[in-house]
Every structure is written in C-alpha cells, then in structure tokens.
Structure 1
Amino acid sequence: MLTNPRPPMTDVPMADLRSVRFSYDGGRSWILDDVNLRIAAGERICLIGRNGSGKSTLARLLAGLVAPDSGSVQLAGYGVFDENGSQPAQYRTARRRIGAVFQNPMDQIVTTVVSDDVAFGPENLAFKRSRITEQVDSSLASVDMRDFANANPSRMSGGQQQRVAMAGILAMAPKMVVLDEPTAMLDSEASMDVMQTLDALQHQGVTIVHVTHKPQELSDADRILELTGGHLRETSRSDAIALLSTDEATEQHAHEQIERLTESTPAVLETESVQGDPGPAVSFTHVSYRYPQSSVDAIHDLSLTINRGKTIAIMGRNGSGKSTLTKLMAALRKPTNGTITVDGVGNLSKLSKRDRKRLRSTLGLVMQRPEQQLFASTVEQDVAYGPRNLGLSEDEVAHRVETSLKLLGLDRFANRSPFSLSGGQQRLAAIAGIIACQPQILVLDEPCAGLDAEATIRIEELIGTLRQKGVTIVLITHSRGQAYRLADQIVTLDGAASRTVRLDDGSQTVSQTGTASINSADNAQDTQTATTHRGSPQTSQPETSVPSSRLGRLDPRVKLLSFLALMFSSFAMGSPQELVLGAIMIIGLIVLGRISPLQLLSKTRGFLIIFIILGIFNMLFVRSGDTLVSVFGLPITTDGAISAILSICRLTLVILLGAILLETTTPTTLTDGFDSMLSPFKRFGLHSQETALVMSLALRFVPTLSDEAKTVVEAQAVRAGSIETGSPRARIRAAAAIIVPVFAGAIRHADNLALALDARCYEEGIERTHWHQLKLNKRDLAFLALCLIYAVAFIGFHTMPWQPWR
C-alpha cells in the first residue's frame, strides 16, 4: 500500500492539443478530426475506443513521435507544432520528458541484452554511470524482471518483452508516460504488476496516458476519454465500463449476427457432429522441448489428451510455454523428447509429405502476433490463400472468403492492405484466414488480445458456434473469465510443470511429474483446482546473452583489432602448416570462449555449405597441374584440388572467427568498442557514434528479419502452403513469394525502429554516457601477447623456403 500522498496536479499542462487533425491517406479521411485535449501535469488519463478508432495514433502524437496534419500541439511545455508546421528542436526537447510504451514491445527493444536495452535511454540522456546502474536495477525490479537482466529479450515471450520495454522507459525517469495497451499480452499477475507500477508513478506525480480495452484498468483514472469517428469526448466511468465490458446487448447483437451468417452460409462451419466419446484429437506423451542454446526445457515431460469436439483453455504465466505448445501441436517445432499425435497423425517429428498435407488440412493455428501471419497484398487475397491451397474451386474460395470476412466484421476491409489495419483488425484478419480453411482442430493463441468488447464477443460467439459444430478448440488465454465461459477443461502450465482444472462435478485429475491428463467434462459450473506436482525444478528463463568466459570479458577494442588481424592472416594462408596453425588458433578461441563446437557449427553451417560448393566449382575449372581424375569429362588437377582446399579452409576460418566474435560479444559492447576506435576520426567529419549504432542495430535486427522469414514460412505452412508439401517447382515459387512480405516486414521494422530511437531520445551527434566503461586490464594484455605469439609463428611458417602448396 502506498502511504505517500500523491502530489497535487498543477495548472501547467503536459500536453495541449487544439483543433488537431491527422490523416493516413492525404486528407481523404481523418483518423483524428478536430481533437482538443489538455492534460495537466500529474493527471492520469485512460483512452478507450473501438479497434481502428485512432487510439494508437493519438498515443504516438502525445508521445511526440508523429506530427499532425494541422492544429497546434504543445508537449511538456514546448510548442512542437503550430501554424508553421513541426518544430524539430522543440520535439526533441519535449521527448526527453516523455516515455512511450508501444503496442508491440519488439518494436522498441534495440539490443540483445535486457540490462543494456534498459540502459539505452538513460545513456542517451547522459545520466551518470552510477545513476544508470540504479535506474536499470530499480526499473527491472518494478516489472519483476531483475532475474532476467542478462537474458536475450528476443528469445522471451511477448509478455516478458512487454515488461522489458516498460523498464526501458521507466529508467529514463519521464515526466509523462504514454502506454499503448501495455497489458494486452500479459498474464493476470504481470498485469497487476504493471498497474501497481503505474500507481507508484502516479503517486510520484508522473502524468499517465493509458490506452486500454480492459474495464478493470479504469479504476484509478482521473479522466476517461473515448475516441469515436475521429472525435474525442470525455465519458463517465460507468459508461466506459459498459463500453468495454461484454454486456448483454452487445453479446446479443454479436450472437444474432453470427447466427444469421452461419445459417445463410452453413458451408463455412459445416463439420461432422461429435457423438458419444469420440476419442482423442490431440495427444502429448511425455513431451519435452528445449530451445537451441537454452539450458532448460520450455516444456518438460508433458502428457496431455484433448478429446474431439472439446474446447480446452491453456493458461499460465508469460514464458510458461503456452505458445511453444501450440507450435509443437502444429508441427512447426519438433519435440526434444516424447511423441505427439494429432488427428491420428503420429510422430510429428518425422512427418511424411502425405501426413504433413493431412495435418495442414485438419489443424488451423492463429499465431500470437497476427501481423506475422498476414502476407498477401489485400485482406481478401490473404484470407483466400488457405482455401486455394486446399484445391477448392474459385467459386467456393470466394464464398468462404466472403463469409469469413463477414463473420469477423471485416468485409468492408476486403480490398485494404492487411498491414494498413490496426493491431486488433489484423488479429481478426488472421483468424478469418484460418476459419476459411474449415479446420477440424482450431488452435487460437490469445485471439482476443488487443480487441475491443464487440470484437471479443464476436470471437467468443464464433468459438461457441464452432464448438457446437464439433470442432476441437485449443484456446490460449490470460482471461480466466473467458476460459470459464468457453472451455470444457483448463490446463495451467507452470514453467516446467503443469496442472489441470477439471470442469465437471468436482472430481479432479492430478498432474504428476510435470504431466497433465485431460478427460472429458461438460459442466463448467463446478470447478476444482488440482494439486501441482513439480517434476523438475527447471524454469523457462531464457539463455543469458552476457558472455561469462575469459574471451567474453575482454575489452571489445582488443577483440575487434585482434580478430580483424586474425581474419586477414587467414586469407594469406598457403601451406598445410599454416592451416594447422589456424585450426589450433580456432580451437584455442573456442576453449577460451567456452563455446559449444556443435553450436558454432550450427550457426555457420549455411556458410560452410556455400564455401564447399564454391570450392568444388573452383576445382572443376582450374586446368593447370597434373590431372588426378576426370568427372563427366572435366579434369580435376592437383592445382585445382589445392586451390579448392585452400579457398574452403580460408573462408571457413574467417567465418568461424566472425561467429566466435559475435558469440562472445554483445552488440552493445561491440558498439562501444567500435565507437571508441573510430572516435579519433571525428575531427575529419566521420560520424563514429552513428556508424557504431548502425552496426549494433544490424546485429540486432538481421536475426529478427531471419525470424520474420521463418514466421512467414510457418504462416504459409499452417494454411496448406506448397512450401512444405508441393512439388519442387511449387516450393520454389512459394519461397519466392516470401520475399515480398519479408521486404514489407523489413520496412515496417525500419519505421518502428526510427520511432523507437526517437522514443528513447537518441539524436545524431548527442553526447552519450557509455554505461560500460572501457578499460584495458591484465587479461587484455595477456590476450594481445597470445595474438603476438601467433603472429610470430604465422610469419615464421609463411617465410619458410619449403612451401609445397606454393
């Protein structure tokens, strides 16, 4: 309980908007139209409205991240926009007092280490190192992520990433915080932590603007504002709760609309009714899964049976393995141990082409991030993708598309780009694309996150209708009320263990040694929670990103210079002795870096394959030297073989050195070292700081784009795309189709990254504080001495008169 009195609100506004208008289409329509808003310092505002009403746009405008088309805007006491347009200098100054938490946390995380990411904003604000340390620690503690300070945020769950994003903003000590649905992807405990953090900020006099769809988050608001039709109006708490709640009138309207559509177009939901005890639709038997590079299981020894026609709700804290479970079920991940059977298709680890095609026509998956499951140029084409892959006629495809869009209330957006929709509308579009495939098993990963009340009821009514038609439904949700309304059983994952809630006459199934066994149950009125027996003390905490080896703790400047020298020497190798010396050097670095050789091989395997292919081509076209053998009339000579071996070995050494450097050095540390090394060139006009930052962001986002491509492949696969099961020609065509959505994703990430840098107060040419102070020590000098010994040995081998390969 907070005992300190809340500072009184002052008359000085933190934001003052007058006659503001904003358009995404050059003024043909206005997402914000004549908006007037004055927010006093210390005030707490809740912003509500339907999906697509402009809440996120207004939030970004209040955070100083976008400028309107007309009107006047004052933020943090600075006039940032007036009749003369934007005032860039004023915007930059105002943003130093405003923090913004985005709807998608990965859009604002800029490094691969949690603590470094939280420190990024304070570094840009030139806080002292001691204060940065304090701010990082207190901010992570406030969102319950202190134990994850050294973890990689890109390998966390969506909810954990949201907490990291919040910590990064809190560490900047802003005077106003703008939050765009910060709890949409969080479990109930994490949501409560966020609300308690906002309460603490409010008592410290921080101004809060909170975009939300949750009625329970309105209780402490000083004012509640509703956006509708581009206009902003103040509303009462009772009216706001009624708007955000699943009230009877809204529920009845959604029910009637879905019932009317399903009656007029029964083909979309036509399935075989389930009678009696139909047997299992999905079965997990002692299944474990561990992510690469992780030391613990995300899912451990899980046994679970889901009967046909039943609706199962899967709950658990962020990072407990819920989304991992759905991907295992859809054969997008292979279990480390155990077996999974889906609709009679067993051994998902080694599916035949025929079984994979059958699985894709049976199971539909709506992913956690809807924007990752959309890749066509229009909503209509995206929804049509799955039915076309199922070989349906164009008339049937058009029928399913039309009905699915109407069911989800998206028919008016049929010709729009899915990427132009709001986050909630994108979620509905992703669901429509799966529904159009008429799956017998439907897996929904938090389908209502970020949706308004009407859309939520629409989804819940749709789930109920599908359930009546005999569809097996697996629902991932953080809403206990939703789980009890819709599910026959609830499975709660708890890290490596799990527990089961039976929704029947009060009997219960107890999960043991980390397993969960689900039996049929029909009555959702009487509930009991089973005892949890933990079979393993493991947790789902992701792998650390902070190097703990001797090599990892070296000064980045020493590593950069040393590794560059080693790479250049690799290109000069020309004898067996030098190659052996290079191999010994690589082995030594692997030992010093405490790197798994198999892990290193896994990360460089693609490059090694390319090098071998290039070496073979080189060998086939070198004609000098003695002929060893002929292949299809092409002579392979001694010089060709030597040239191939040398080129493969040289390139392999170089790529291994680069991989070892990246494996033992975080992007932030590399940036600091690179910036320090380039700083003497500032006098010649080189922007060393910006160059170093670009390198760091590339290291952060290149893997992200790789993951984006993988997600697009998975999104195509779950809708029976030919990239998995088609002919070689069809697979090539499908692979080529990935280019456009990945390119669109790259542009989207670039735009969001620019906003993230603005929100974190990064500016070109600013004086930043580097949290990690670079200082040479004995360890660095010892490594330099080893590199010098290697250089002497290499020069000795290189200058010897006997060189059989020269």
Structure 2
Amino acid sequence: MNSMVPAARLEHVRFSYDNGVTWVLDGIDLTIRSGERLCLVGPNGSGKSTLARLIAGLAAPDGGDMTLLGHHVFDGETASANPSEYRDARHGIGTVFQNPEDQIVTTIVEDDVAFGPENLGVARDDIGGRIDESLQSVDMAGFRHADPTRMSGGQQQRIAIAGMLAMNPRMLVLDEPTAMLDPDARIEVMRILDMLQRRGTTIVLVTHHHDETMHADRVLRIDGGLLTQVEADRDAIAAKQVIARSHADATDAAGSTESAAEEPGGSTAAASPAQPAKSGQPVKPASTKSDASPIPPTGSASDAIAVSGLSYRYDDGDAPVFENLSLRVAEGEIVALMGSNGAGKTTLARLLCALDRPSAGSITVAGLPVSSSKHGKRPRALTRKERAALRRNVGYVMQHPERQLFADTVAEDVAYGPRNQHLSELEVATRVEEALRMLHIEHLADRSPFNLSGGQQRLVAIAGVIACRPRVLIMDEPTASLDESAVSRIHALLGSLKSQGVAVLIITHSIDEAEHCADRIITMGSHNGDGEGDGCGTGDDGDTSVGDATESSTNAGKAGIESIEDGSRNRPSFVASLDPRAKMVTFLTLMFTAFVITRPAQLAMGAVLTACVVAAARLHPLRLLSSVRVFLIVFAVMGLVNMFFARSGETLAHIGPLPITTGGLMVAVLYSCRLALVIILGAVFLATTTPTAMTDAFGSLLLPFRKIGWHTQEVALVMSLALRFLPTLSDETKAIIDAQSARGGTIETGSPATRVKALFAIIVPILVAALRHADNLSLALDARCYEEGIHRTHWRVMRARRRDLMVAAACVAYVVALLAVGWL
C-alpha cells in the first residue's frame, strides 16, 4: 500500500452499547499513518477495546465516517456500513486479542496458522511457506505438530500472532496481548512487533504497560470517549527496563549459586528476597517496613501457609508440574510468587485452596491440614467438614475474574461468600458495603457483573473474596489488565490486610509490584525441554521448590486421550496414520455391528478384534480402560438390571423373589460386553484422531450432499468448533464450581439435596460463559476472514493409501464373518 495513504481514518466516530443513552466513543477523530506504531492507553472501561475493534473492522460505529486500508467501510452521511468494503478491508487487517484461547480454532498448530490463508484462498504450496515463515518469526517452529490448546498462555499468544502473520496483514491490531504473560514472553511479543514494523506493517497496540509504549510513534490516551495525545517518558521507561533486567540477572545468579550448593537429588531453592545484597546475604526490599517479623527457619505456629515436599502431576504418565516443593508464609506477611508461564504457580494456588489434590507432600493453611502424604501415597481428599472450615479462613482470587462471577448484580455477587458463612443480613450488607468501598466500586453495586469491563470484573471478584474476611488470601494475577488507579487500590488493599495480620500470597508477573508490595519474592522455576530445572531464586529461610516445564512443552504432540498412549512417540501408530475418512467409516461400522452380537462366539470375535485394534493403535490397555471406566461401570450395572428380566434357561439362584437364570446371566454379559466394545472402540478412535482430522474427514464425506443444497463446509466447521470448544466449556464449568466452592458454596460442602440445588445455580453463569466464548469466536472467525460460502483452499490434503484399502477389506470380512456366525 502507498505509504502516503493512511492505514485508517476515523472522523467524528461515535459508538454506544445502550442505543445512545451513553457514548463509549464520542466524536473520535483519528488518522493512522501507514507503517506507524500507535499505542492506545487509558483507564478500564474507557473504550480502548471498542476503538480497537472498530479499527480492526470487527464492529461498525453508530455514527461518523470510517476508511480502513483505503476502503470506505462506513458512510457518515447515510450512517450505514458497507459489507463488501468491510470484507475487503479485513483481508489486510490482523487482530490479536487479550485472551488467545478463543482465537485458536483447531487443535494442531500448523492447521491453526493455515486457517486464515485458507480463507483467503491462498494456494496450498504458498500456505506451507507462510506457515514456516510465521512460526519461525514467533520462535514456535518446533511446535507445529503440537496441540495449541494445551500450551501456556505465552505460547498460545505467539501462535495467535503467527496465525495473523500468515495472512500477511498490512495492519495489525493488538488488544492487550501481553496482559497475562510473564516478562520474558512480553519481551518476545515486543520483539515481534519491532520486526513487523521494520517490514512496514502498521501496528495498533492497546496496553496498560508503559514500557510497551517505548517504541511507539504516537501514544494516544482515551478517556470519556475522547482521544488526547501523550508523550512517553522514554528515559524513565528505559531505566525501569535496566532495573528489571538487573533484578532478573541477580535472581538467576542467586538461584545458580544456591543450586550449586544443593546436595545431589535435592531441589533448587525458590524463596528470594525482593533485592539481593552485594555480600550475597538477603535483605528486605525498600518498601518493606523494618520491623517486619523475620520468617522462622523451620515451620512454626505462626505460619499461615506451610508446604513441605509437595509434588503434583496431571496424570501418572506425565512429567511433574513441580516436585519436592516447600515454602512458608507467616501471618501478616505478603509474599509474591513469580515465575514463567507454565511454571505451576496457579496449580500451587489451587492446591493450597484444596481445589486439587497433590501427588505427594503436606500442606497446612491457617492452621488447618489441607493434605498429608504418608508412605509416598497420594493424600486423601478432605471431608466436607474440613473443606467448610478451610473455606471460612482462606480466600482465593482466580486468574480469570469472569469465571468467579455468577450473581445477578455486583452486590449480590459480593454477598455470596458472607451469606455462606451464615451471617445476619445486616452483617452481610455491612461487609458488602465495606468491600465495595475499599475498592472504590460502590457505583457498580446494582450493575450486572457480566456487563462490566474486564478490569471492573476483576475488582468485583476481589471484593467478593475480601467480604469473606479470610485469614489467608491467595491472589492470582490480581492486577492484570488493570489501569494505574485500580492497581493502586489493590496495593492499598494489600497494605490494609497486612496491618490486620492477614497473610497474602500474590501471584504476579510484575517485578515492580512484587518489590513494592511484598516482604519476600518466591520464584518458581521451570524445566527445559530435557526435563532439567532452569534454576530458581534463593532466600534466607531455606525453602526449596522445583517448577516444571509448561504442559505444552512436555506434552507437545499429544492428541486425543493423551494419557493412554503407549510406545514410541517418534512416529504415529498404524491406526493413527490411517486416512481419517477410512478410519471414521471403519470405526463407525465396527461400533454399530457390535449391537448385532447375540452369541458368545460373536462376542469372542468382537473382543479379539478390539484387542487387535488397541494393539495396532499402541495404546496402553489399562489406561484405555481407566479412561472409560465410568461408562464401563454404568454398562455393568445396566447389565445386572437386565439379568433379572430375562428368565430363560436354568435357575441358578434367587435374590428375594427374583430368580437368576442362565439365560438372564448370558443376557447381562452380552449386554454389558457389547456396549463396552462400542465405547472402547470409540475411545481408540478419539485417542488416535485429532479433532481437525475428524472434521476434515466429516466434511469430505459430506461433499456429495452439496448437490442437494447442504452447506457441508459450514456443517464441518461447526463440528470442528464444537470438538475444539467443548473441553473449554467443561473447564469453564469446573472453574465456576471451584469459584463457588472457594467462597463456601454448598455445591461442595452441602447435603446431597443442597448440592443438587447449587448445581442448578451455575446454569446461568455457564450460559453466559458459552455466549461469551461464542461472541469471541465469532470475532475470531471474522478476524481470520472466514465467511459462509467462500471458496477455501485446503492446506491438509487427505489421500487414501494401500493400508486404508486393506483395513476397509478387513472390516468387510469381519462383518461378514460376524453375521455368518449369527446365522448358524
């Protein structure tokens, strides 16, 4: 594009979410020069994200005039949008959102990166080159066959950026892309933006981080619906970056020194002071009061949190998230927990709150035993009484605040925890008023928490936990996405809680925040790709911990039911390498024919075939059975019930008035076993076929129906997105349940009747979550230029080979033999 032509021009643009009652944007005039880097800053709820969506062509204004990449998308005179102009403009605009999870539409990295170019109709050979180049640009070339949904937030954000780079955008719009990233990942994203700008890409970046404005050509502040230009203090920003790098180097050096002193088999140290002393001895940060109580060298009654020998892994076959971790937090102490994305910080927080169980080790919080491991066995689950006691003393602010809100109004949401403590309504109202006032959000009391900005939702979530008045508070990234004013409120709140003797463990990626607020900093390390620790910070109390690699690093390439895979991962199994169309048809045939089994000989044939399929798929039999054990138990119970209704054959025994006959026993066995064969074959198919391959196969098999008007491409895409996002909604449901549990909800500790009633209460927030994901997904599809009925090219081409024909022939032979045995 000609450098003299603006990348975007907005004239008198207005936007409202309530039909003009209030204006989020009110008369915006903005010209973005081609090739410039523009940063948008401003307080929470000021309209930054709204303006970014308008510039990205993902929303239309309510008034004004807009031109994007030379396309007149919105006419101010007629107050109307031009769909074709918007479509053409979006072909040259890339968009990266704050949460990359909803931008990833497939379960294989290279397929996700290819999705945009496919929608643009790029030739298949050219798509391959774009995938290679874009993944190399974000340093993710080694993960092209991995599952992006299992990656850390930093890695997912890089994949999201790679997906945009593969579309060769002339303008890239990023809405707080680093809000949840660790410092190293943030630096990497900024490096990518520098590279893109050198290539001539126009960049629009929404951010709360001042250091990210350092390379901007212009910094614009939006507030009250209006734009004003501000100057970045580049010298101050550069100085802060030098200090941050010095701190990181000092922490790494201290970790290396302490690691060298460890005995073989010991774990590297994790607790560190906020600043290292020149003599090598730890000192307190300047922001910490000099009379703060020192941490005792061993566990004591004053410990609000005491962790010893803690280990956690997701499944028995997985590498540990962390191992042999120990730490302590004293009463009235604020400890900052830092570390890279995927080091296990959030996992540790969940273990402290008894929302997960460790693999080994002991935890005591607020004097209450959370877990205790004996003889190397996994700690037992807490009883309902023990959980109720823990919930009264421990508060947990989750990483994603939108998952912690579930009431109709802000006031009702904040009141949820105090009501579960069985306080009087007067006391509940007092606590709600106090919590809202402490965070300066009294004006939001009657608003729906679902209609607030992300920053406002975070403040409401914190208020809901503070209203419970916990003795121990655990906060996971409480200031992410917050403006300076809101951050200062949180910091003031921490000081107030400290003065009241509340122990606080705050997970943060901000070195400035950790040094300003915390008495100590604990740095959780991670393992590299070889499984070796990368070192952690050190401290004066002898606490130790080991982090682990991100789940994506150790589990890259796992597809389907990853925990049941067996054998070599260097090449796919025979079943996994089959053409997905042949595999889908074959497995569906085998599963349906299982229902014709009526004789023991047929059951034996089905069992032998299923065993051969499991072996050819290189799946661990016991893990496979474990993955479907719930279904197997249900089928066994159903079979036993059927046993009492079939009374043919010889009577073997009686249970009360009900006889058990040989015919009934045979029916029970056949009924249970043939259903088990169906579910096991289904599990094998899911474990060896990615959702992307399933939907490609489904779409290909549906192609003949195009002739009768079926929208086969759209049907296949819907199936793909369903397979992609059903696990996400499942995780969201669990998060909402955990949020209610963390605030003493009866969904965890009540009687069976009250727990069922509480389950119904989560329906609304789950629906809201589904709608939010659907809305974000719709924006992501628009940003990737997907439209109904468009001609798409395909990066992944399916080819039937000799082995596929052999499998199909074997399947036909099996069905014929099965039917023949039944006729004899």
TM-score class, shorter-chain normalisation, is: 0.7 to 0.9
Is 1:334–2:357 an aligned residue pair?
yes
1:74 aligned to which of 61, 67, 80: 67
User: Is residue 187–residue 478 contact of structure 1 (8 Å, CA) maintained in 2?
Assistant: yes
Could you list the per-position Cα deviations for residues 598-655 of structure 1 after superposition, in whole angstroms to 9, with x for gaps in the alignment? 4433443343344344444544555777665555655556555444443333332222
1:386 aligned to which of 417, 425, 444: 417
Superposition map of 1:393-404 within 5 A: 393-404=424-435
Letter in 1 for 2:755: R
SS at match of 2:553: coil
Moved more, 663-672 or 204-213: 663-672
Letter in 2 for 1:23: S
1:442 aligned to which of 466, 473, 494: 473
Is 1:674–2:698 an aligned residue pair?
yes
Superposition map of 1:757-768 within 5 A: 757-768=781-792
Is 1:735–2:759 an aligned residue pair?
yes
Could you list the per-position Cα deviations for residues 144-183 of structure 1 after superposition, in whole angstroms to 9, with x for gaps in the alignment? 3333333333333333322222222222211111100011
What does residue 223 of structure 1 align with? Answer: 218
SS at match of 2:469: coil
Distance 1:432 1:536, change over 3 A: closer
2:103 aligned to which of 105, 108, 114: 108
Distance 1:645 1:208, change over 3 A: same
Superposition map of 1:245-284 within 5 A: 278-284=301-307
Distance in 2 between residues matched to 1:360 and 1:327, nearest whole Å? 13
What does residue 247 of structure 2 align with? Answer: none
C-alpha displacement of 1:23: 1.4
User: Is residue 490–residue 502 contact of structure 1 (8 Å, CA) maintained in 2?
Assistant: no
What does residue 175 of structure 2 align with? Answer: 180
Moved more, 445-454 or 122-131: 122-131
User: Is residue 297–residue 538 contact of structure 1 (8 Å, CA) maintained in 2?
Assistant: no
Is 1:752–2:773 an aligned residue pair?
no
In structure 1, list runs of 5 or more residues that go unmatched. 1-6, 246-272, 517-533, 801-806
Distance 1:390 1:602, change over 3 A: farther
Letter in 2 for 1:77: G
1:345 aligned to which of 368, 380, 390: 368
SS at match of 2:504: strand
CA RMSD of aligned residues (A): 2.6
Distance 1:32 1:605, change over 3 A: farther
Distance in 1 between residues matched to 2:526 and 2:70, nearest whole Å? 47
Distance 1:374 1:53, change over 3 A: same
User: Is residue 495–residue 539 contact of structure 1 (8 Å, CA) maintained in 2?
Assistant: no
Is 1:16–2:9 an aligned residue pair?
yes
Distance in 1 between residues matched to 2:700 and 2:550, nearest whole Å? 41
Superposition map of 1:602-751 within 5 A: 602-620=626-644, 631=655, 633=657, 640-751=664-775
Question: How many residues are aligned here?
Answer: 740
User: Is residue 320–residue 548 contact of structure 2 (8 Å, CA) maintained in 1?
Assistant: no
The TM-score with structure 2 as length reference comes to 0.85
Distance in 2 between residues matched to 1:400 and 1:319, nearest whole Å? 36
What does residue 544 of structure 1 align with? Answer: 556
Is 1:358–2:358 an aligned residue pair?
no
Is 1:211–2:206 an aligned residue pair?
yes
What does residue 50 of structure 1 align with? Answer: 43
Distance 1:221 1:662, change over 3 A: same
Is 1:117–2:105 an aligned residue pair?
no
User: Is residue 526–residue 547 contact of structure 2 (8 Å, CA) maintained in 1?
Assistant: no
Superposition map of 1:385-424 within 5 A: 385-424=416-455
User: Is residue 304–residue 503 contact of structure 2 (8 Å, CA) maintained in 1?
Assistant: yes
What does residue 137 of structure 1 align with? Answer: 132
User: Is residue 113–residue 153 contact of structure 1 (8 Å, CA) maintained in 2?
Assistant: yes
C-alpha displacement of 1:483: 0.9
Distance in 1 between residues matched to 2:157 and 2:507, nearest whole Å? 18
Distance in 1 between residues matched to 2:491 and 2:534, nearest whole Å? 25
Moved more, 788-797 or 40-49: 788-797
C-alpha displacement of 1:576: 1.5
Letter in 1 for 2:750: G
What does residue 482 of structure 1 align with? Answer: 513
1:35 aligned to which of 9, 28, 34: 28
Moved more, 760-769 or 594-603: 594-603
Could you list the per-position Cα deviations for residues 703-738 of structure 1 after superposition, in whole angstroms to 9, with x for gaps in the alignment? 111111111111111101111111111111111112
Distance in 2 between residues matched to 1:69 and 1:771, nearest whole Å? 39
User: Is residue 45–residue 223 contact of structure 1 (8 Å, CA) maintained in 2?
Assistant: yes
Could you list the per-position Cα deviations for residues 743-799 of structure 1 after superposition, in whole angstroms to 9, with x for gaps in the alignment? 221111111111111111111122222222211223323333432342343233222
Moved more, 68-77 or 132-141: 132-141
What does residue 330 of structure 2 align with? Answer: 307
The TM-score with structure 1 as length reference comes to 0.87
Letter in 2 for 1:543: N
Letter in 2 for 1:325: L
C-alpha displacement of 1:89: 2.2
Letter in 2 for 1:409: H
2:87 aligned to which of 60, 85, 92: 92
Distance in 1 between residues matched to 2:624 and 2:650, nearest whole Å? 37
User: Is residue 152–residue 551 contact of structure 2 (8 Å, CA) maintained in 1?
Assistant: no
Distance 1:344 1:126, change over 3 A: same
C-alpha displacement of 1:302: 1.4
Distance in 2 between residues matched to 1:69 and 1:408, nearest whole Å? 33
Distance in 2 between residues matched to 1:628 and 1:751, nearest whole Å? 61
Distance in 2 between residues matched to 1:542 and 1:30, nearest whole Å? 48
Distance 1:366 1:181, change over 3 A: same
User: Is residue 628–residue 635 contact of structure 1 (8 Å, CA) maintained in 2?
Assistant: yes
Letter in 2 for 1:132: I
What does residue 65 of structure 1 align with? Answer: 58
What does residue 530 of structure 1 align with? Answer: none
Is 1:189–2:184 an aligned residue pair?
yes
SS at match of 2:555: coil
Moved more, 763-772 or 420-429: 763-772
Could you list the per-position Cα deviations for residues 112-135 of structure 1 after superposition, in whole angstroms to 9, with x for gaps in the alignment? 222322222122222233332332
Is 1:286–2:297 an aligned residue pair?
no
Superposition map of 1:551-570 within 5 A: 551-570=575-594
SS at match of 1:285: strand
Distance 1:325 1:498, change over 3 A: farther
Letter in 1 for 2:334: T
C-alpha displacement of 1:596: 2.9
Distance in 2 between residues matched to 1:96 and 1:625, nearest whole Å? 72
Distance 1:450 1:755, change over 3 A: same
Distance in 2 between residues matched to 1:149 and 1:336, nearest whole Å? 31
In structure 2, list runs of 5 or more residues that go unmatched. 241-291, 372-378, 528-532, 560-571
User: Is residue 16–residue 23 contact of structure 2 (8 Å, CA) maintained in 1?
Assistant: yes
Letter in 2 for 1:37: L
Letter in 1 for 2:506: L
SS at match of 2:407: coil
Letter in 1 for 2:556: T
Distance in 1 between residues matched to 2:472 and 2:140, nearest whole Å? 36
SS at match of 2:369: coil
1:465 aligned to which of 483, 486, 496: 496
User: Is residue 119–residue 771 contact of structure 1 (8 Å, CA) maintained in 2?
Assistant: yes
What does residue 160 of structure 2 align with? Answer: 165
C-alpha displacement of 1:457: 1.0
Percent same amino acid at aligned positions? 51
Distance in 1 between residues matched to 2:687 and 2:547, nearest whole Å? 33
